[in-house]
Amino acid sequence: MASVMESALFVLPYFLLFIFALAFGAAFWLLYSLSKSDSSSRSSGYASYFRKRHTHKFA
């Protein structure tokens, strides 16, 4: 059991770093797709719809 705990403690920081990098990449991709100019892709269309909806809500 001790060897299993030692290996888990050895792998844990790398696992957390991988999770953090994955979350950072997802957030960066989301911000990039939201701030991108209007094109024919589905994500930008959804982003423009979301922006319009929010501006109508707050205005």
d(CA 14, CA 7): 12
Contact 11, 19 (CB under 8 A): no
Residue 45 scores a pLDDT above 70: no
Secondary structure letter of residue 45 according to DSSP: H
Residue 31 scores a pLDDT above 80: yes
56 confidence band (pLDDT: 50, 70, 90): low
Identify the pLDDT of residue 26: 96
